[in-house]
Structure 1
Amino acid sequence: MNIGNLVDISDKIDSINTSESDCYKCYLNENNLLIPYVKLEIIEKNVIGNQEDKLNVEFSYLLLNGIKELNWIGEDEDRKRIVGGIKNDGNEKAELKDWFAINRENDGFEIKAIFKKLMIFIPNDSRIGTDWWSPKNTPNFPQNIKTQKVKDFFSLKNVPEQLKKVLELESYSALFFENGQNKEIKLIETNWTE
């Protein structure tokens, strides 16, 4: 399998499922969105050279390259609805579109993104298989990843050198989910499924 490298999976965009993945923080610079995931699900063969139809990846990073537009709908810790977005006029040729789940400890969001390229990076020491990797105890699955390792992962403390060289991490900052203006909120909600 192709691990330890940043791999273009733009042509396999429907082969990644984030609905059950954990992502406590994601990071944005002027062109890219970096999403660290615990338990990313691969649902087709040959996405990363895998021969299996379904695999769970313990730790991975998705990189949405060439962001044109990001919109989000979700709830904060107080169950208050948050709808907002950002646009980047510098990536007019971006044509890929997909939805990504951001399931955090106490809240969650769905992101709809329009971008140029989807990349994945799986660290060499990430476990890959059919097991369910869980950063916390749930009613159905016990925690099987150490809490500190999860905190370090989501705060980008131990990003592998191969990925650091490509990303220029100092240019990224945490994405904050905030409400847009009323007109923007209505537009996002109206066009969400398009």
Structure 2
Amino acid sequence: MKIAVTTTGSSLDDQVEARFGRSPYYLFIDTETMAFEAVQNPNVAAGGGAGIQSAQLMSEHGVQYVLTGNCGPNASQVFGAAGIQVIVGVSGTVRQAVEQFKAGVFTASNQPNVASHFGMGGGMGGGRGMGGGRGMGGGRGMGMGQPGAPVDFAPQGTTTKEEELAELKNQTRILQEQLKQLERQISSVDKKKDN
């Protein structure tokens, strides 16, 4: 089976990237042989539509599943139309994620778990206060942005208490994974700073 995993680098031992549309790399993996192709994301710096364009890339590569940390509503729509299953809340190394996938640990959900533009970040604006900044800040930061609580996309009043509880537990798990990934990034930056 062919799957795709969002990743920070080009090997199976790199970390799963939390952002789908702005992931630096995608690994297209044959789960039977673990043979893979690493592809740099051509949409990582796109001004907009990175999720949609990246989802189309998944379809062009013929994947059946995508493993990622987070997926927004626009990419989710493309995946739904293409018949691609999405697994969110994935973390660890790509190799670990694929092994967990093969063991049946994950459950696919074609529902977005973050709002649009989640991975864009704020950037360094050019405003100086007093109205003199002229709005020249490009907002081109590529950080993770300010993760907030995942948006509830289900229409109100249509879910049972059991479904609501399951979704809340899923959102809690996703937030815990995001926190772990942020802690790993902080630790990595601290190590670089000390060297």
The structure whose residues are more often helix, as a share, is: 2
Q: TM-score, normalised by structure 1?
A: 0.29
Relative contact order higher in (CA < 8 Å, ≥ 6 apart) = 1
